Chain A
Amino acid sequence: MGVRLVLEKRPERSRAMQVASPLLAVALTVLFGSILFAARGFDPLHANYVYFIGPLTTLWSVEELIVKATPLVLIGAGLAICFRADLWNIGAEGQLIAGALAGASIPILAPHWDSALAIPAMLLLGMLGGMAWAAVPALLRNRFGANEILTSLMLVYVAQYLLDWLVRGPWRDPQGFNFPKSIGFNDWHLLTTFGDGRVHLGAVFAVIAVIVLAVFMSRTLLGFEIKVRGEAPRAGGFGGFSQAGTTWLCFGISGALAGLAGICEVAGPVGQLQPTISPGYGFTAIIVAFLGRLNPLGALLGGLVLAICYLGGEAAQVELSISEKTAQVFQGMLLFFILTCDTLIRCRVRLEWATRNPSRQRQFIGLEGGASRTADAGGAAQ
């Protein structure tokens, strides 16, 4: 005897609500954020202004916003494709690092190669590096049915230690007082910048990537294949679509974009290799992808929203003397509300007396396609 909460799939889903879900999530975040501010004794209106509007009011901070959003959008757009196919690449952070390492090999190993070809070569290597790192979970999944969530995540740590070892060992700047940093890249090995000198070419790549992926997903057969695989894998099988093929493709695309983001960061704002080159962009981009409805165009917006969250957090520290933890709380609330809204739009909650209706058919659904996921993994293992 007992009451249980049952998540029941709604017979029909409201399209309007699906679009509204991220907006609702942002609104809820702001609402609960205001309560948080009020509890700390700040005027919620002013605090929200500092947090969310302030970063948009000066050219300088808009530029910084673009700098911050660039890697998030690049990675988020790629992850959106992957997640759409019901493939869970959680290791974009590692692919970012792998791309940065591969691309940075040129300025570090050939510091005197002053050529206009250096940057294209670095970018290409960066994408290949990210792709290679992402190929490992794809291979393990296709070949052995290994869970890609675990393999991709664990490869993040491998990449981090590889970077760590390189900047402390063979790639350390000989003139750097033993500090774990590579040499600073020279002008031939740094991306072109715009405006105040912080916005770099990566922002352009991010916009191009978003447009190309949006067209790819909506206008091509391969894009259709990816969607079918996520929504109805068995139907895809009957249609002759190769599961292994889409796995390679999705990991390839998201890995390449994460790698591109990595090399753009080190050849952009960082300008050298050092033990940490990303404050977790690869993980934050997961929120970006969901905020953007797993749609490349949406990732562009999602990236900007999270960048505001981050910059706003910093501004709040300076102007309101709020702890930097607030920014993290905001990010956490945002993801929480998005997932909650999504789930409640797809499903409804019902209380059920468990023992009274044992024969009643129930359907349990995990957060994002959890049920189909198990069936899918089983299929892959066969």
Chain B
Amino acid sequence: MKKSIVVAAVLALSLAASGALGADALKVGFVYVGPIGDHGWTYQHDQGRLAVEKALGKKVKTLYIEKVAEGPDTERAITRLARQGAGLIFTTSFGFMDPTIKVAKRFPKVKFEHATGYKRAKNVATYSSRFYEGRYVIGQIAAKLSKSGVAGYIASFPIPEVVRGINSFMLGAQSINPNFKIKTVWVNSWFDPGKEADAAKVLIGQGADIITQHTDSTAPMQIAGEKGALAFGQASDMIKFGPKTQLTAIIDDWRPYYVQRTKAVLDGSWNSTDTWGGMDTGMVGMAPYTNMPVDVAAMAKATEEKIRSGEMHTFAGPIYKQDGSLAVPKGKNLDDGTLLGMNWYIKGIDDKLPK
């Protein structure tokens, strides 16, 4: 009798312990470069995390570390999540690439997903989104609405992803106004509200009346609002920060991808893949078109629809490089390989790539 009570107690305790640890649930870890409250890049990834929790409920438990510096701390942050028993880890910044590969070697059973990088391994998949498709649309809007014919572009790092965005924006703008100009400021950070705000002020001071950004804070939107300029949101719908300023925003929607990949780990079908999703997969979305005339909004919607359906490619030839040489002839599209390694500007951009 006594014995059985002890056994029952031990059983109950061990059950309680395993319940508390969530032994059955798959732990899914997220490493963020910014704070989840940035209302941009990291915020959207965190929306993805919440979607995983919502979709899979008790089958998963999510963990995250925010504001992880791309440097000596990255490796430890990823390792920590692996040590905590995460079976799937999303590392959501380009600069996490090498540490992700390093940690993945030491934890062969853990699956890793690295955003925007190009290094893969048996247990490391990569994924990114064709943000540039949205940039073509906003380029068109900018050219339609700008009175000065100059847009201000706040750029982060001169890596292919950012250069591609600038080119795509310009191609969109040139399709409306062949003489459109872009002024660029490189802030050399993904998230630095102070620097981004300064850049916005400088650009507006130089005659830009529309601001677009490849950085993650809402500061440029707010500055544009103060100075009476218009702006595009980045990564996330920033309309709250510029109700009279935001024209639209390119939205990164990671939710379907994160849910799908987590499901794949749960049912054992996960393997290392390279995903580059565009508007057609829903990974790139556009916020409502606001603060613009109806005809401009209609044009933007039409372009968006053409890109989504595959009717048009934003890098359709003929495209000339800055030096005048032909990059791709008429009737052809730039291939993904060239797009992924893009380190040249198209014709019409005055800026020089930082060398």
Contact = CB atoms under 8 A, between A and B. Distances in A.
Contacts of B29: 318
A318 B65 contact: yes
Nearest to A181: B95
A321 B62 CA distance: 10
B353 A178 contact: yes
Contacts of B66: 317, 323-324
Interface in B62-108: 63-67, 69-73, 75-77, 79-81, 83-84, 94-95, 98
Interface stretch (A230-238, A273-281, A345-353): A273-281
A355 to B, nearest CB: 46
A250 to B, nearest CB: 28
B341 A276 contact: no
A319 B64 CA distance: 9
Interface string B281-323: 0000000000000000000000000000000000000000000
Interface stretch (B145-153, B157-165, B326-334): B157-165
Interface in B204-231: none
Given A60-B83, A314-B65, A178 B158 contact: yes
Nearest to A270: B72
A177 B79 contact: no
B72 A275 contact: no
A275 B69 contact: no
Interface centre among B70, B73, B159 (most CB of A within 10 A): B73
B159 A179 contact: yes
Interface centre among B76, B95, B341 (most CB of A within 10 A): B76
A177 B72 contact: no
A250 B188 CA distance: 36
B277 interface: no
B67 to A, nearest CB: 5
B142 to A, nearest CB: 25
Nearest to B95: A179
B35 A318 contact: no
A41 to B, nearest CB: 18
A269 B77 CA distance: 13
Nearest to A64: B76
B343 interface: yes
A299 B49 CA distance: 41
A314 B83 contact: no
A318 B159 contact: no
Nearest to B32: A324
B66 to A, nearest CB: 6
Given A277-B71, A314-B77, A318-B63, A178 B343 contact: yes
A56 B315 CA distance: 54
A58 interface: yes
A275 B188 contact: yes
Interface string A160-186: 000010001100000001111000100
Given A318-B63, A318-B65, A265 B72 contact: yes
B69 A279 contact: yes
Interface residues of A, number: 31
A315 interface: yes
Contact of B80 (A274, A275, A314): A314
B354 interface: yes
A317 to B, nearest CB: 5
A373 interface: no
Contact of A269 (B75, B84, B94): B75
A169 B188 CA distance: 13
Given A168-B188, A318-B63, A318-B64, A178 B159 contact: yes
A178 B344 CA distance: 11
Given A180-B188, A317-B65, A318-B63, A60 B72 contact: no
Contact of B160 (A178, A268, A317): A178
A177 B94 CA distance: 11
B160 A177 contact: yes
A58 B83 contact: yes
A314 B81 CA distance: 10
Contacts of A9: none
A315 B188 CA distance: 29
Interface string B25-67: 0000100000100000000000000000000000000011111
A121 to B, nearest CB: 22
Nearest to A177: B159
Contacts of A64: 76, 79
A274 B98 CA distance: 13
B72 A269 contact: yes
Interface of A: 58, 60, 64, 67, 164, 168-169, 177-180, 184, 198, 265, 268-270, 274-279, 314-315, 317-319, 321, 323-324
15 contacts: A58-B83, A64-B79, A164-B188, A169-B355, A177-B343, A179-B159, A180-B157, A274-B70, A279-B73, A318-B63, A318-B80, A318-B81, A321-B64, A323-B35, A324-B66
Interface of B: 29, 35, 63-67, 69-73, 75-77, 79-81, 83-84, 94-95, 98, 157-160, 163, 188, 341, 343, 353-355
Given A178-B163, A180-B188, A317-B66, 9 more contacts: A184-B98, A276-B69, A276-B70, A276-B71, A277-B72, A279-B71, A318-B29, A318-B81, A321-B64
